[in-house]
Amino acid sequence: MREATQTQPQPQRRRRQTKKRMTIIEVAAIAQVSPSTVSLYCRRPEEVSPSMAERIRKVIDECGYVPNLMAGGLSAGKSRTVAVILPSITNSFFAETYNILQDLLHAAQYQTMLGVSEFNPEREEHLIRAFLAWSPAAIVLTGFEHTEGTRAMLRSAGIPVVETWDVTDAPGVAIDLSVGFSHTDVGRRQTGFLYDQGSRRVAYIGVAAAQDTRLHKRADGYAEEVRQRGLHEPMSLVVTDVVRASIGSRLISEMLDRHPDIDGVACSNDTLALGVLRELACRGLRVPEDVAVIGFGDLTFADSTQPPLTTIRPPQQKIGSIAASQVLSRLRGVEVLPAHQDLDCELVVRASTRKPA
């Protein structure tokens, strides 16, 4: 006879308890303000009185409330994000500008979306198309070299656009706002200083990405200054490569093989100048007595080279702070004057150049 099998009782499944997300109404009740005031604080905190803003901020921090900024942003046609596209994140110039820009935007309750174009205008266009799909409040770019597709998108986007790290006085070049400095003037200033401190045959060496027009402008500035002085024809070597000290060593070696009587060299950046100093030392040439050297960037090692490097210091922090100010002013409905800011670079004189004659 078959025995009856006893059915074992199945354990009851526990219903997962999901903590309910805090609502804006609950935040408003605790802070003793209206839900519309909390919403305004999350979207435009500068428009809420300091006392109310402090009460709301305290409740949000204590309760861990996370506002849905995308929902509010889309209903208003824009988010509280600012898209930033840099040509490189390995270049400390751009990184320092971005850090300042990000800090100031964060303090105003805006977040940044970062993209890297690798000096490629087509890649920049793809990044901008993707960013615009998220309805950013503003876009910050580097330089003025963009595709026609990029220009068309940005002009029709209806948001602030700030182009950084370059200047122009030609109409129609800048899309909207800009802040930077003249790279042509940097090249002229490097070269002119070498002449003023006694050099009579000045060469220029440079290396950058193929589409880095700012380096080519510095090389143009060198050539302009050489021709104005009238002491010799321009002697320059500019190559497309990754910036490394070893490239500087190779370029100055080639330059000396072609023009062994040069007594001054301007470099497109400090990393290249570091390689120049090494090669000159290997050849037994004294710096600055035989060959004076000037760089660009005032990178962290510039005061520790042998000898310490004379260089041009760009205003990277000021570019970031002004770009943030331009964005925030425009978003608050304040007119930005001047719309295009031309900043000065600083000549930092150290022992790699002679004392002015």
* Cis amide bond preceding 308, omega within 30: no
Which element (helix H / strand E) includes 324? helix 316-331
| 76-181+317-344 maps to CATH 3.40.720.10 | no
Structure tokens, 75: 């209903």
Task: Identify the pLDDT of residue 357.
Answer: 65
Domain ranges for the chain: 24-67, 76-181+317-344, 183-313
| 24-67 maps to CATH 2.30.30 | no
Cα–Cα dist 197/347, whole Å: 13
Order of strands, edge to edge, in the sheet holding 292-296? 235-240, 202-208, 264-267, 292-296, 310-313, 346-348
Task: Identify the pLDDT of residue 307.
Answer: 98
Which element (helix H / strand E) includes 53? helix 50-63
What's the pTM value of the predicted model, to 2 decimals?
0.81
* Neighbouring-strand partners of residue 141: 163
**Exposure of 159 in the CB half-sphere (CA atoms within 13 A):** 24
24-67 and 76-181+317-344 share one fold: no
Structure tokens, 294: 């000037």
Cα–Cα dist 338/322, whole Å: 11
- Collapsing DSSP to helix, strand or coil, 348 comes out as strand
What is the CATH number that goes with domain 183-313? 3.40.50.2300
Q: What is the pLDDT along the chain (357 residues), one digit of tens a residue?
A: 444 444 455 544 444 444 456 788 888 899 899 988 888 887 778 888 989 889 988 888 787 777 665 555 544 556 889 999 999 888 778 999 999 999 999 999 999 999 999 999 999 999 999 999 888 999 999 999 999 999 999 998 999 999 999 998 888 899 999 999 999 999 999 999 999 999 999 999 999 877 788 999 999 999 999 999 999 999 999 998 888 999 999 999 999 999 999 999 999 999 999 999 999 999 999 999 999 999 999 999 999 999 999 999 999 999 999 999 999 999 999 999 999 999 999 999 999 999 876
Cα–Cα dist 75/190, whole Å: 52
Task: Identify the pLDDT of residue 233.
Answer: 97
Nearest to 242 by CA among 283, 271, 200, 274: 271
